[in-house]
Amino acid sequence: MEVENGEGQVQVRLKTKQEHFAIPDVPYTVEGSVTTAELNTFVNTLLEQAALNNSEYKAPIEFDFIVFDEYLRGRLCDHIREKEFSFEDTIDIEYVERFPAPEPQDCLLHDDWVSAVKACDKWILTGCYDNTINIWTVKGKHVLTIPGHTQPLKAVAWISVDDQRGKFVSCSQDQTAMLWEWLVGTNSVECVSICKGHERGIDCVDVSPNKTKLATGSWDTMLKIWSAEINEGCEGTFKRQKESGATRVPDITLQGHRECISSVQWMDAETVLTGSWDHTLKIWDLHLEGIKSEISSNKSIFDASYSKLNRLIITASADKNLRLYDPRTNQGNLVRNTYFGHSQWVQTVMWSSTEEYLFISGSYDNQNKLWDYRSPKAPLYDLLGHGDKVLDIDWSNPKYIVSGGADNTVRVFKSRKVMVPEPTDDTK
């Protein structure tokens, strides 16, 4: 059989975990030069033949194909050769329904760079280089501009939000984190506490799973843990606390990084992940108040995201690439995969909270990209719209991908696959 130039035939077995798209589990013979497009046609033909028994099939379905745990992005013969498998063997190919392209929605205009974004339910929180925080609806309506910081914002996070009250935190180059309470009905906001203790600008923040603590990372190389609780037990006490903007000091200060901490995330109630310009990821045990494990990189880490679904970490760096790590491995510097596609440094990255294989990235090349971690050679989609570098990206609300950039805008993309109720917008 000639396979050097992709000629000849290969036996394959086509399988899927989506049972309503299953075809007979028998070997099929295909040309070695077959591509995703041709496999798509082939599978759809087989499904069409069985359509009388499958009411869910609506031709044609777009599929992606996974061969040896990686998406097929060229000819099958080239993929087999790259993975050093024998052409004489029957090749297992898994096919999955292609994740639909997110749809561009609104463009939210700001007065300066948008360096921080975070969505929750029907609300979007943004932090800006004009020192302000802004609240928007996911439908693009501006709700509130909040002054208070004296230097550019670098990070924001919701603590909680419902139809009556929202609580959130903002962090700035002015070395403070501020805790806020927003009364939705009157659309009024108060600074409840100012967290002071960092000696340089704060670059990142995350809220613990039980919403009682904050973790902040700073250019002073310190990781600090703070209380996120707001005392609402006594109305008078709460009012005085708000009026004074009481200063809050850290509960724990942890030292270990040598340069700026650029990302922080709670992995669980007692474990925090940090990424740094010092080329390391560190996993901290807050109960022991020390470093649990460390992963070394050969590049500065600008952002890192841990998935609770697959327990993997993805990082963004200055060399244009994203890297996948498994923190459970004993080999701390082992990169499980590298993702190529951005043309300038990658500033921001985040896993989906509902789709275990998917993550998003934003770069100084003005682009957002949606990735499947089984597809290192190319992203699933380019999410275009920004006219300057992307500074932050968020997928906290499974239905909306939100990004902020140096073009003074927030871009919103709607995910068409997530079947959750449409947020109601009573403020429209």
The answer on pLDDT for 418 being more than 60 is no
The span from the CA of 410 to the CA of 393, in Å, is 9
Q: What is the pLDDT of residue 428?
A: 37
The span from the CA of 405 to the CA of 277, in Å, is 21
pLDDT tens readout for residues 22-52: 888 899 999 999 999 999 999 999 888 877 5
Kindly report the CA angle at 206 between 284 and 225, in degrees rounded to 5?
55
Strands in 184-250 per DSSP E: 188-196, 202-207, 213-218, 222-227, 246-248
- C-alpha closest to that of 410 among 423, 424, 391: 391
Q: What is the pLDDT of residue 83?
A: 87
pLDDT tens readout for residues 212-252: 999 999 999 999 999 999 864 333 333 434 444 689 999 99
Which amino acid makes up residue 163?
Answer: D
The answer on pLDDT for 53 being more than 70 is no
Q: How confident is the model at residue 198 (pLDDT cuts 50, 70, 90)?
A: very high
**Rg of the chain over all Cα atoms, to the nearest angstrom:** 24
- C-alpha closest to that of 392 among 149, 140, 119, 123: 119
DSSP state of 180: E
Q: What is the pLDDT of residue 15?
A: 95
Q: What is the pLDDT of residue 390?
A: 98
Which has more confidence, 421 or 122? 122
Q: What is the pLDDT of residue 245?
A: 62
The span from the CA of 148 to the CA of 242, in Å, is 13
Q: What is the pLDDT of residue 59?
A: 73
Highest mean pLDDT among 224-233, 310-319, 333-342: 310-319
* Mean pLDDT, range 392-404, rounded to an integer: 97
Please check whether residue 283 is in contact with residue 327, taking contact to mean a CB–CB distance below 8 angstroms.
yes
Q: What is the pLDDT of residue 155?
A: 98
Run of H or E residues at 263: strand 261-268
The span from the CA of 60 to the CA of 149, in Å, is 53
Domains (range + CATH), the chain: 9-97 (3.10.20.90), 103-414 (2.130.10.10)
Q: What is the pLDDT of residue 421?
A: 37
pLDDT tens readout for residues 351-396: 999 999 999 999 999 999 999 999 999 999 999 999 999 999 999 9
Name the average pLDDT for the chain. Answer: 90
Run of H or E residues at 271: strand 271-276
Which has more confidence, 124 or 53? 124
Q: What is the pLDDT of residue 54?
A: 57
Cα distances (Å, whole numbers) of residue 107 to 360, 403, 411: 18, 10, 5
The span from the CA of 350 to the CA of 203, in Å, is 16
Q: What is the pLDDT of residue 56?
A: 65
**SS3 (DSSP) at 90:** coil
pLDDT tens readout for residues 76-111: 999 999 988 888 889 999 999 999 999 999 899 999
The answer on pLDDT for 331 being more than 50 is yes
The answer on pLDDT for 420 being more than 60 is no
Cα distances (Å, whole numbers) of residue 345 to 289, 299, 375: 33, 11, 19
The answer on pLDDT for 4 being more than 50 is no
1: tokens are: 């059989």
The span from the CA of 277 to the CA of 354, in Å, is 29
